Amino acid sequence: MSKGSKALAILTLCSAVAAGGVVLSRQVSAVAGEADAERLHRAILAYVAEKNPRAPIKAFQQFPETLVAEAQRTNIDHCLALAQAEVESEFRHDAVGGAGEIGLFQMLPSTAALLESTVGRFRRPVLKGHRDLGDLADPQVSTRFAMAYLRDIMIRRPNIKHALTEYNGGPSGRHPHYYRMVMGAYVEVLERTELRCRFQPTPKRPPALALLARV
* Structure confidence by residue, pLDDT tens digits, 124-150: 999 787 789 999 999 999 999 999 999
CB atoms within 10 A of CB 161: 15
The C-alpha atoms of residue 146 and residue 138 are separated, in whole angstroms, by 12
Amino acid at site 138: D
Which of 132, 70, 145 minimizes the C-alpha distance to 106?
145
Number of H helices, E strands in the chain: 9, 0
Domain 3-201 of CATH type 1.10.10.10: no
The C-alpha atoms of residue 121 and residue 102 are separated, in whole angstroms, by 16
**Summary mean pLDDT of the chain:** 85
Which of 111, 104, 18, 19 minimizes the C-alpha distance to 59?
104
CA 55 to chain centre: 18
3-state DSSP assignment of residue 205: coil
Q: Is 145 buried (19+), middle (13-18) or exposed (0-12) by CB count in 10 A? A: buried
* Per-residue confidence band for 210, with pLDDT thresholds at 50, 70 and 90: very low
Looking at the predicted structure, is the pLDDT value of residue 30 above 90? no
Looking at the predicted structure, is the pLDDT value of residue 39 above 90? yes
pLDDT more than 90, % of the chain: 69
Which of 163, 184, 166 minimizes the C-alpha distance to 175?
166
Name 119's Cβ contacts closer than 8 Å, sequence gap at least 6: 112, 144, 145, 148
Looking at the predicted structure, is the pLDDT value of residue 21 above 50? yes
pLDDT more than 70, % of the chain: 76
The answer to whether 134 touches 126, Cβ cutoff 8 Å, is yes
Name 134's Cβ contacts closer than 8 Å, sequence gap at least 6: 102, 109, 122, 123, 124, 125, 126
The C-alpha atoms of residue 188 and residue 205 are separated, in whole angstroms, by 19
Which of 160, 192, 164 minimizes the C-alpha distance to 178?
164
Domain boundaries, the chain: 3-201
The C-alpha atoms of residue 212 and residue 210 are separated, in whole angstroms, by 5
Name 125's Cβ contacts closer than 8 Å, sequence gap at least 6: 100, 102, 109, 132, 133, 134, 136, 137
pLDDT, tens digit, for every residue of 100-131?
999 999 999 999 999 999 999 999 999 787 78
The answer to whether 120 touches 145, Cβ cutoff 8 Å, is no
